[in-house]
A and B are shown apart, each in its own frame.
Chain A
């Protein structure tokens, strides 16, 4: 019974609980809201694990498929399906969500109900976007994410939160609406070529989209651009990244974790799921451009991160750099580099999520995030120092931890075809090591000059509990990447081959 509706249950559980929290709980029921949110996200995690257990990694196609007519006359259906690529991202999402609730348990004290509800609705949007196999349904879920995130940044954010929230919405919306035009145009093409309306992903793959001549005369290039722009803004690809530091710095810790850990992945996921298979020739044509943009992002992000005085901003810019690696891996287009990009999406979710969480920890204690306000924390907060160091090492790709696996696969996979890009990207790794380690040096090892820092409490059990699963996966993926690579290999081979 549950087999038929497992994905729907997975997607709708958080959103339904979110609505209950928002509309039915009495006004002051903060603690009940927290518990409900945590339980809902744990239930979602359990459902995701159940989906994992029923997933057959050898099958490259969509599994646990659900299909119901929704708007039959225009060919829109409610159809869901999970392939290996979606599975790993769903697992990441389901894993991070409860950790967000645990880490925000104390720090979000205002309008708790709204926060929990927004987060849960956001999770529904994210899971739906990963699992939808109808372009229209995908778009609905994609847009569904926008409003909760607007409120998460705008209500619980820092001083310039309203500016950041509006900027986030306008950037995202501008891109996604052009994608809607693209989706409608695809459905129209299907109507023209097959005589019926359809938005189904499988049907779109059968379309013959003409390349035409020039950019403006080429439907395929224009469609590619419409989709790629929406996704590139989300990733964000340099030079569309300017919303990201604002949004990150102003968002509350939980918002930053979700933003960096999951929402950015939707951009790369979209490129992988839609742009590559739907517009293969345009993808070929755009590869040099995206290679350049990826390399620029890697180096630019690293250099700007190095110059930051604010720890959170530094981590935000490091995201720009890391997402550049993922773009590089995707567009290099080999199985190894694409697998690397996928695992790197997970890694970035884990390590950057962990870093944002840990930055939140000291911000809660000191209400500052400036590097110069710290120093010598290693003696005061040994457990915290260990956690931060682990996340840093994971982020810069130390062998034995997860980051290494992703970067290694991307660079080896891309080397044969794009040696120059790989060489330049490798300098990005070196820069990454420099700025991250210098951050660690300045925050943890230098002399303890600020008296306020002498009495900081170490990680509490709650904070440690939120961090522990991340640490576990960092080591697990680092030591035994095969477990996870195996899940998506068939799907990725199918993607590259098809």
Chain B
């Protein structure tokens, strides 16, 4: 029997993977995938909670999230394309000219 806890643990694992990945990786494409992981973790939560409560608002919001994630990915890829054109790399730290 799969309970809500299973879903929450799965989403927590995905969320953690995403956050840790964002912190330690410098490859822009990996970062983009990490963003997707985080948003999908939230989506899983929404669907699981929604199913548990028998209420559709969470599922509706999940559809919103998927759309927003797609828009975000599109913008991110656009920035990556510009980065490659300018610098011939997808490594963020090779594009660092400003003092942090």
Q: Does A touch B (CB under 8 Å) in the complex?
A: no
Residues of B within 8 A of A (CB): none
Residues of A within 8 A of B (CB): none
